[in-house]
């Protein structure tokens, strides 16, 4: 958080205190003036003074009533402005973290592709080395494409878009494609287990491209936030009414207090500058939005492995 935030807070608090102090000061002046009128009436006994005092008292009560309303509106306005300022500061922090993450996420695969291109252009390599470099470049290109698609999909769901096109798909085949997409560094050697908890129920209907992105994000998150020697378990269950997919990892888990936070766009736990894992903060948000587009729900819980379990449930017959 920048140093401008505490300065803004102090300035806002100072101005608010000054305005309230001025209101209290004017109120005290009215009270003292009323006392002077009373003393003047006692000393002179003049009827005109009594009439003036009575008129002043009525005027004083009117001022007091209007002042109370004004003070209440002022306090409410200051509190509203304070909350708006807090939200803007939080949004600025999220955007800063997002820009840092996007810069790193896009820069890394570009650097890999550039290195592979320059090496292939300048060096005399064996066929095996050339094939390895081409594989690295292809993996980096796929990673770059996935990140760009995630950002574009985020803009789409942020506008509240509904499912645009649907088609029949085999849930097992889609999940296998999701896993194959992640068979690239740094997850090339990681173990992902895919199991079914039910007998095949035939084809489902939905936006296959969007759902594939959602489940890929969930599996990738499980791989990123769990130990490299621990497998990730993906289980699916297709009943007559619902399609349920569980993604379990053996990571540190997500505390119940943070489970709603991580579903917000560009929100990741911790500071982006000090983070050791890559990401843009869009994975869970996109997955939840896409599931909601299909009239389903996404839940975060605890995994039997000790980490996090992400469950998506989509109705097969909406």
Q: How many whole angstroms separate alpha carbon 83 and alpha carbon 87?
A: 6
Q: Phi and psi for 244 in degrees, rounded to 5?
A: -115, 135
Q: How many whole angstroms separate alpha carbon 36 and alpha carbon 34?
A: 5
Residue-level pLDDT at 180:
86
Residue-level pLDDT at 1:
43
Which residues touch 194 (CB under 8 Å, ≥6 apart)?
172, 175, 176, 179, 234, 235, 236
Residue-level pLDDT at 274:
41
Q: How many whole angstroms separate alpha carbon 156 and alpha carbon 114?
A: 30
Residue-level pLDDT at 126:
83
Q: How many whole angstroms separate alpha carbon 279 and alpha carbon 267?
A: 10
pLDDT tens digits along 266-281: 666 554 444 445 555 6
Residue-level pLDDT at 109:
76
Instruction: Give the residue carrying structure tokens 């000054």.
Output: 18
Q: What is the pTM of this model?
A: 0.59
Mean pLDDT by 10 residues, the chain (318 residues): 55 71 71 60 52 58 68 74 75 64 70 83 81 80 74 63 75 90 80 84 80 90 91 90 93 88 68 48 82 91 93 83
* CB-CB contact of 204 with 237 (8 Å): no
Residue-level pLDDT at 174:
92
């Amino acid at each position: 958080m920048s140093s401008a935030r505490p300065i803004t807070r102090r300035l806002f608090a100072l101005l608010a205190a000054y305005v309230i102090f001025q209101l209290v000061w004017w109120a005290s002046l009215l009270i003292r003036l009323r006392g002077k009128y009373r003393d003047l009436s006692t000393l002179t006994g003049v009827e005109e003074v009594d009439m003036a005092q009575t008129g002043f008292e009525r005027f004083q009560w009117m001022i007091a009533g209007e002042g109370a309303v004004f003070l209440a509106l002022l306090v409410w306005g200051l509190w509203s402005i304070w909350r708006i300022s807090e939200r803007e500061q939080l949004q600025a922090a999220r955007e800063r973290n997002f820009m840092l993450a996007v810069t790193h996420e896009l820069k890394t695969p570009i650097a890999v592709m550039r290195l592979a291109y320059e090496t292939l252009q300048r060096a005399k390599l064996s066929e095996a080395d050339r094939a390895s470099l081409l594989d690295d470049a292809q993996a980096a290109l796929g990673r770059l494409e996935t990140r760009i698609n995630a950002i574009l999909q985020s803009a789409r769901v942020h506008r509240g878009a509904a499912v645009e096109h649907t088609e029949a798909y085999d849930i097992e085949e889609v999940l296998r494609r999701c896993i194959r997409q992640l068979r690239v560094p740094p997850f090339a050697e990681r173990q992902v287990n895919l199991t079914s908890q039910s007998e095949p129920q035939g084809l489902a209907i939905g936006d296959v491209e969007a759902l594939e992105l959602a489940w890929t994000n969930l599996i990738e998150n499980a791989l990123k936030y769990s130990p490299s020697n621990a497998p990730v378990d993906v289980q699916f269950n297709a009943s007559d009414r619902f399609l349920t997919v569980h993604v379990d990892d053996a990571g540190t888990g997500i505390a119940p207090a943070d489970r709603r936070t991580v579903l917000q766009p560009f929100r990741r736990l911790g500071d982006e500058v000090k983070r050791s894992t890559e990401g843009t903060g869009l994975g869970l948000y996109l997955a939840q939005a896409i599931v909601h587009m299909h009239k389903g729900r996404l839940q975060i819980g605890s995994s039997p492995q000790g980490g996090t379990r992400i469950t998506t449930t989509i109705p097969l017959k909406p």
